[in-house]
Amino acid sequence: MNNILTIGRQMVAQRRRPPGLESPWRRAWGRFRRHRLGVLGLFVFATLVLLSVLAPWVTRYDPISISLRHRNMPPSTLHWLGTDELGRDMWARIVYGGRVSLSIAGASVALAGVLGVLVGAISGFAGGKVDMVLMRLTDVVMCLPSLIMSMVLLTLLGPRFTTIIIAISFPSWPPIARLVRGQLLSLKERDFVIAAKAIGVSTPRIIFRHLLPQAFSPVIVAATLNMAQAIILEGSLSFLGIGLPPPTPSWGNMLQAAQSIQVLESFPWRWVPPGVAIVLSVLSINAVGDALRDALDPHTTKWL
């Protein structure tokens, strides 16, 4: 008995890094830095986030105050990106809209990530009937295209900041749950888990302390690429008129102006900037995601 305990402790201890060895995160960062597109993406995305966070300091205009004497003005030194149909400054709306769009996308990715990891961990570790039920649940959610799923959910819940986050995260947790489940299925058969069980480590601790950290890197990559999808989803929903109601600016509902042919043809400064903001953020996040995938798990590309 004592013998088994010693072996168990040794096997758990083997997972700890001997002093002096480079940490896996440092190694991953080293690989990430070699990915030039990824570094550029990180820089562009950081700039976008920074502009949004510092919105009150990068513009002196209020994004929702109306000035009817300055309607539909082309870009000038006064209004860098012109003004919209109510005379609101476009640059101010872009940076303040970035707060809304990026925080909605970020929050829904976090929500989907937490939900996906939890469901996947339970499913993968419990196995059997629990696994069966949870996986059929993911099947049901994945039956509908994500935009349609979000659209229907959002009309049922009504468009508010929180409901949009829920509506966007709902279609994106099942893929993460499956990813985590797949990882846990193979990890839980490994010797160090048996060893941990043998020395009496509790099940939640095994899952959260020993198993999940190993499944972490593919989840991070998936979440990064999800963020790009979330920005597109928010844009699509707002563009279709079922996102955040005006006057709150978001990149998607600013683009909605382009549904009028007159705006599309004569006032390009009213729809190009929000579109470019969305494209830039999606491009940069995808670049970061690709670089992260190469840096964190060079062997797995299966889930893409």
How many residues bind other proteins, per CB under 8 A? 35
SS3 83: strand
- Of 134 and 232, nearer to other proteins (C-beta) is 232
Q: Determine which residue in the list 16, 60, 143, 189 makes contact with other proteins, applying CB under 8 A.
A: 143
245 counts as binding other proteins under rule CB under 8 A: yes
Residues 6+ apart with CB under 8 A from 58: 51, 95
List 32, 137, 275, 300, residue binding other proteins (CB under 8 A): 275
Tell me: does residue 141 bind other proteins (CB under 8 A): no
Tokens of 154: 């959002």
Residue 8 or 38 having the CB closest to other proteins:
38
Structural contact between residues 89 and 63, judged by C-beta atoms closer than 8 angstroms: yes
We find the least distance from the C-beta atom of residue 275 to other proteins, in angstroms, to be 4
What 159-167 contacts at long range (C-beta under 8 Å, 24+ apart), as own/partner pairs, is 159/242, 159/243, 159/244, 159/245, 160/244, 161/100, 161/104, 161/244, 164/104, 164/108, 164/234, 164/237, 164/243, 164/244, 165/104, 165/107, 165/108, 165/111, 166/108, 166/111, 167/237
Is 287 a binding residue for other proteins by CB under 8 A? The answer is yes
228 binds other proteins (CB under 8 A): yes
Contacts of 173 (CB under 8 A, 6+ apart): 111, 112, 113, 115, 116, 119, 141
Q: Is 288 in the site for other proteins (CB under 8 A)?
A: no
Residue from 135, 144, 199, 201 in contact with other proteins (CB under 8 A): 144
Smallest gap from Cβ 117 to other proteins, in A, equals: 25
Smallest gap from Cβ 293 to other proteins, in A, equals 13
Phi-psi category of residue 90: left, alpha or beta, with phi > 0 → left and psi -120 to 50 → alpha: alpha
Q: Verify binding: residue 86, other proteins, rule CB under 8 A.
A: no
CA-nearest of 90, 88, 87 to 68 is: 87
Nearest Cα to Cα of residue 242 among 158, 127, 128: 158
Binding residue (CB under 8 A) for other proteins from 18, 200, 261, 302: 261
Residue 282 binds other proteins, judged by CB under 8 A: yes
Q: Identify which range of 77-85, 118-126, 145-153, 165-173 contacts other proteins by CB under 8 A.
A: 145-153
Q: Where on the chain is the footprint of other proteins (CB under 8 A)?
A: 142-145, 147-148, 151-152, 155, 159, 228, 232, 235-236, 239-242, 245, 255, 258-259, 261, 264-265, 268, 271, 275, 278-279, 282-283, 286-287, 290
